[in-house]
Amino acid sequence: MSSQQVLAGFHAVTARLRHASETIQELYIEASRHDKRMQAFVQQAQAAGIKPRPVSAERLDGMARGTRHQGVVALANARSLAIDVDEILDDLDDQGTPALLLLLDGVTDPHNLGACLRTADAAGVHAVIAPKDRAVGLNQTVQRVACGAADTVPYIMVTNLARTMRRLKERDIWLVGTDDQANGSLHQIHGRRAMAWVMGAEGEGLRRLTRETCDELVRIPMVGSVESLNVSVASAVCLYETVRQRLD
């Protein structure tokens, strides 16, 4: 049986209604809210065959456990978008589509992971991959910050990131890591090939083995006074260089 998860906020719950309404077991709304946004949300839920239950704001606070819920909380079965990375790559091979993956080495801040997932969805990333022992899971904060992207972009947690990277190489995925000391610029990458961006943790960067397993290391040009970018911002910059090249 699937484990249950709590979804809080309009974006997270609306995305689940849109993509997998059958996984929602219970839907609660704040009884005192009757504004247009809530009315539209209730209509969408009812159209999906789900009747929201009005409850007090205090009860929603308890269910959301500190996450900003905006008057909307759903209890749902956890949804798996993919079994493993090979499943995704096999589908892409059948379609003749070059893979675009995002590997996160040790991102433990849920706000950063949520932002990375949101950017990954916007950039057309096929999967986000992270190690189980050095990453945050898809908790309520991640779901809220991702604004629905946790329901559209597979988030695959692996036991050994370096081993997964070597398996990706065997599947002809080019691994590009970011490093402040690299000689090459991100604008020199060949983004039309099947590839994966490999991003390091907040403040620490890539671990040694992760860095050594990459096929190529590049830096993000920095012309201001700050030394580095937040991992979610850096991921956006790198992913959209790939998008730019693939759309040209």
- Tens digits of per-residue pLDDT, 99-113? 999 999 988 899 999
How does the average pLDDT of the chain come out, rounded? 89
Give phi and psi for 129, each to the nearest 5.
-120, 135
The whole-number average pLDDT for the span 9-38 is 89
pTM over 0.85: no
Structural domains in the chain, sorted by start: 4-77 (3.30.1330.30), 85-247 (3.40.1280.10)
Report the alpha-carbon distance of residue 27 to residue 10 in Å, rounded.
12
The whole-number average pLDDT for the span 221-236 is 84
Q: Which of 165, 222, 171 lies closest to 199, judged by CA?
A: 165
1, pLDDT greater than 50: no
Query: Which two tokens mark 192?
Result: 């039309």
94, pLDDT greater than 50: yes
Annotated binding site for S-adenosyl-L-methionine: 200, 220, 229
Distances (CA, A) of 197 to 54, 127, 194: 44, 11, 10
Return the pLDDT at 81. Answer: 63
68, pLDDT greater than 90: no
Report the alpha-carbon distance of residue 134 to residue 114 in Å, rounded.
16
Return the pLDDT at 108. Answer: 87
Annotated binding site: 200, 220, 229
Neighbours of 30 (CB within 10 A): 21
Q: Which of 230, 228, 210 lies closest to 219, judged by CA?
A: 228
Asked if residues 19 and 151 have their Cβ atoms less than 8 Å apart, the reply is yes
Torsion over CA: 118, 119, 120, 122 (sign)? positive
**Across the strands, what pairs with 195?**
100, 174
Token pair 């005192």 in the structure block, residue: 32
Q: How confident is the model at residue 30 (pLDDT cuts 50, 70, 90)?
A: very high
Q: According to DSSP H, which parts of 78-220 are helical?
A: 85-95, 110-123, 140-146, 161-170, 208-213
The whole-number average pLDDT for the span 29-48 is 94
Q: According to DSSP H, which parts of 131-221 are helical?
A: 140-146, 161-170, 208-213
